[in-house]
Amino acid sequence: MTKSEAIRKDLEKLIINFDNELKSDSLRQKVLALVPCFHALRNLGKSLIPRNVARSARDRLLHYFQKYPYTVIGGDELLVVSGIQEYARRIRELKVQYGWLIVNGITAKEMTEEGEFPFENVDVSKMGPSDYLLLSTVQDRDAAHRWFLANEIRKENLAVRDKILKYFLKNVGKQISGEELRYVAKDRSEWARRVRELRTEFGWPIVTKNTGRPDLNIGIYVLEADRQSPEHDRHIPDTVKRGVLRRDGYKCRKCGWTHDEWNRSDPRHLELHHVKPHVDGGENTEENLLTLCTVCHDDIHRSI
């Protein structure tokens, strides 16, 4: 008999015996008789993942997330699997100390509002604060260090947008999660909008899966360089930008550079260039825009 079967049998006995207690006049007696049922039920949940697979509540949670990545998992399920009330704290540890890309329902919703959560099979509108989603099966070993930094910047007396920018600038070229950005913003729901403004109004090259870097995981943001695009290039609508990059195969049209060739000594990224300059009435349309790497883009503007 497996451990789970044994616990189930005990629980069954307890429930059957509870029938007698129900006839009792004492509320206290009924409550006390139910306590062992609760314990047995909790143990049954914990026993579903054997101890040789996962020993602690945190390990059981991780095992469950890894078994069902890209799937919305509700708080009640996590309660069953972990067997503890404070499973949310263990999930936070998995994120912050162990670098697992787990996103909460609230964060997912805020990303969706800014078009940064392009999930086809997940109805984010139905996600609540106790729902979670594992977005990558790869552990990010640098996460703990970044969360430490996030905690420092979070405490600073700066506007939300400035805190987010500061955090990005400390992590140029690195993959940052929406959960980190939200934390830096002291959990203010405006964080996702502020990130978009930094990209569009302020011209910081912040990319996501939906805005220029389809190779990235959903929920990941990267500031590609410490360099703002010129004012006149900031008004290209996201849909147009996406269309141009897709048409050009995410490649520089002059030298063929792609992000796969990125390296520390030659840190380029892709920008859009107006064929007919903006000042001469060149429009923000796909026909008038070209994908160029930053090196070729600079060359062209130097020679004009």
Cβ of residue 286: shortest distance to Zn ion, in angstroms? Answer: 15
Cβ of residue 279: shortest distance to Zn ion, in angstroms? Answer: 11
Query: Could you tell me where the DSSP H helices lie in the chain?
Result: 3-22, 27-47, 57-67, 75-82, 87-96, 105-113, 143-154, 160-169, 178-184, 191-200, 238-247, 294-303
Cβ of residue 290: shortest distance to Zn ion, in angstroms? Answer: 8
- Separation of alpha carbons 27 and 45, rounded Å: 27
Binding residue for Zn ion (CB under 5 A) from 252, 270, 289, 290? 252
Residues near 124 by beta carbon (within 8 Å), at least 6 away in sequence? 105, 108, 109, 112, 117
- Separation of alpha carbons 278 and 280, rounded Å: 5
- Separation of alpha carbons 221 and 256, rounded Å: 24
Task: Give me the DSSP letters along 109-152.
Answer: HHHHHTT----SS--GGG--TT-EEE--SS--TTHHHHHHHHHH
Cβ of residue 270: shortest distance to Zn ion, in angstroms? Answer: 9
Q: For Zn ion, which is the closer residue by CB, 156 or 261?
A: 261
Q: How many CA atoms lie within 13 A of 10 on its CB side?
A: 17
**Quick one: CA torsion of 41, 45, 48, 51, rounded to 10 degrees?**
-100
Per-residue contact flags (x/-) with Zn ion for residues 205 to 244, judged by CB under 5 A = ----------------------------------------
Q: For Zn ion, which is the closer residue by CB, 147 or 257?
A: 257
Q: How many residues bind Zn ion (CB under 5 A)?
A: 7
The stretch near Zn ion (CB under 5 A) out of 61-69, 71-79, 99-107, 288-296 is 288-296
Q: For Zn ion, which is the closer residue by CB, 143 or 252?
A: 252
Binding residue for Zn ion (CB under 5 A) from 46, 60, 259, 273? 273
The stretch near Zn ion (CB under 5 A) out of 82-90, 110-118, 175-183, 251-259 is 251-259
The stretch near Zn ion (CB under 5 A) out of 14-22, 115-123, 237-245, 292-300 is 292-300
By CB under 5 A, the residues from 59 to 78 that bind Zn ion are none
Cβ of residue 157: shortest distance to Zn ion, in angstroms? Answer: 38
Separation in Å, CA 291 to CA 105, 258, 274: 35, 10, 9
Q: How many CA atoms lie within 13 A of 230 on its CB side?
A: 13
Binding residue for Zn ion (CB under 5 A) from 254, 258, 267, 282? 254
Cβ of residue 215: shortest distance to Zn ion, in angstroms? Answer: 18
Told to check if 270 binds Zn ion by CB under 5 A, we report: no
Told to check if 289 binds Zn ion by CB under 5 A, we report: no
The residues of the shown chain that bind Zn ion, judged by CB under 5 A, are: 252, 254-255, 257, 273, 293, 296
